[in-house]
């Protein structure tokens, strides 16, 4: 014999209501839950009471939680504030996971500076990469020193050419940060004027004649680009 919702004894329906309202004492609650797993008709009663009572939700006013609650939630769930959306959007990220960049950033800093207490200065990173990954640089901005430290992890300048680094603020002309040396690591000072808007900067590397662009603007092909993001 099948048991449809209509065959439910009245008592079970009320028990389901008490269950939904959290009115059962712990022993009753446990007994009810044990039955629930076995009896679909009882589960349907719970669903029905949940829906019936949900009409009361409409009368509850919305209250916006403080923004810090969301940050805290994401830290609890994911271990860090959610800052990944840029990278996901940029689509530059397939080759390097955030974890490996964090590790690389850590080592880039380690290799460039003597051990010292890490200042709580803002840390920003950028992966400046060619679409085909033929040229790739990792940039870490050290707020305490006002420097961008660079590590080239793939590619280099063509024969008889140099690589020049540019910082581009929104709706502004590129500002040269200098010609990159042959070494795979280097550090350049970020002009004071660009530091405030750091998080909105895009870094780019162009192909230039020896000595760098003669005009003050990129003259050769832009080989690699990357936006700056807080670490």
Partner 1 sequence: MATTEEIEDLIARSALGDRAAFSRLYDRTSAKLFGIILRVLKDRASAEDALQDAFMKVWRHASRYSANGASPMTWMITIARNTAIDHLRRRKETVDADDAADRLVSSTPTPEQSAVAAGEARRITACLDELEQDRGAAVRGAYLEGRSYADLAESFGVPLNTMRTWLRRSLQRLQECMAR
In the complex, the smallest distance separating the C-beta of residue 48 from partner 1, rounded to whole angstroms, is: 5
Task: Collect all residues with Cβ–Cβ distance below 8 Å to 143 and sequence separation of at least 6.
Answer: 119, 121, 122, 123, 124, 195
Does 95 help bind partner 1 (rule: CB under 8 A)?
A: no
- C-beta of 99: minimal distance to partner 1 in Å? 15
**Of 203, 219, 223, nearest to 211 (Cα)?**
219
- Contact status: 56 vs partner 1 (CB under 8 A): yes
Contact pick of 1, 27, 61, 99 for partner 1 (by CB under 8 A): 61
Q: Would you give the end-to-end CA distance of the chain in angstroms?
A: 63
Based on the shown chain and the rule CB under 8 A, indicate whether residue 40 belongs to the binding site for partner 1.
yes
Conformational region of residue 2, where left means phi above 0, alpha means psi within -120 to 50, and beta covers everything else: beta
* One-character DSSP codes across 205-218: EEEE-TTS-SSSS-
Q: Is 72 in the site for partner 1 (CB under 8 A)?
A: yes
Least distance to partner 1, CB of residue 43, Å: 4
Q: Nearest approach, Cβ of 101 to partner 1 (angstroms)?
A: 17
> For residues 20 and 125, which CB has a smaller minimum distance to partner 1 in the complex?
20
Closest distance between partner 1 and the C-beta of residue 88, in Å?
7
* 74 binding partner 1? (CB under 8 A): yes
What track of x and - describes contact with partner 1 for positions 1 through 20 (by CB under 8 A)? ----x----x--xx--xx--
Residue 12 phi/psi, 5-degree rounding, is -65, -35
Query: What's the sign of the alpha-carbon dihedral 187, 192, 196, 202?
Result: negative
Q: Which residue has the tokens 């509850």?
A: 60
C-alpha atoms less than 13 angstroms from C-alpha of 98 in its C-beta half-sphere: 15
Residues at the contact surface with partner 1, assessed by CB under 8 A: 5, 10, 13-14, 17-18, 21-23, 26, 29, 33, 36, 40, 43-44, 46-48, 50-57, 59-66, 69-70, 72-74, 76-78, 82, 84-85, 88
């Amino acid at each position: 014999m099948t048991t449809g919702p209509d065959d439910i004894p009245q008592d079970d329906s009320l028990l389901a209501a008490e269950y939904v309202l959290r009115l059962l004492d712990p022993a009753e609650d446990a007994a009810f839950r044990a039955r629930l797993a076995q009896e679909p008709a009882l589960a349907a009663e719970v669903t029905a009471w949940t829906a019936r009572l949900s009409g009361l939700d409409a009368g509850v006013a919305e209250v916006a939680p403080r923004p810090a609650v969301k940050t805290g939630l994401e830290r609890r769930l994911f271990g860090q504030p959610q800052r990944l959306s840029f990278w996901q959007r940029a689509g530059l990220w397939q080759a390097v996971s955030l974890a490996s960049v964090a590790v690389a950033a850590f080592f880039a800093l380690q290799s460039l500076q003597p051990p010292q207490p890490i200042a709580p200065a803002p840390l920003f990173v950028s992966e400046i990469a060619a679409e085909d990954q033929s040229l790739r640089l990792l940039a870490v901005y050290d707020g305490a020193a006002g420097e961008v430290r660079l590590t080239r992890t793939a590619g280099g300048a063509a024969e008889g050419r140099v690589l020049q680094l540019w910082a581009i603020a929104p709706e502004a002309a590129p500002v040269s940060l200098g010609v990159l040396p042959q070494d795979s690591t280097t550090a350049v000072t970020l002009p004071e004027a660009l530091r405030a808007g750091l998080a909105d900067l895009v870094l780019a590397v162009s192909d230039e004649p020896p000595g760098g662009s003669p005009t003050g603007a990129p003259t050769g092909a832009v080989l690699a680009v990357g936006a700056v993001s807080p670490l």
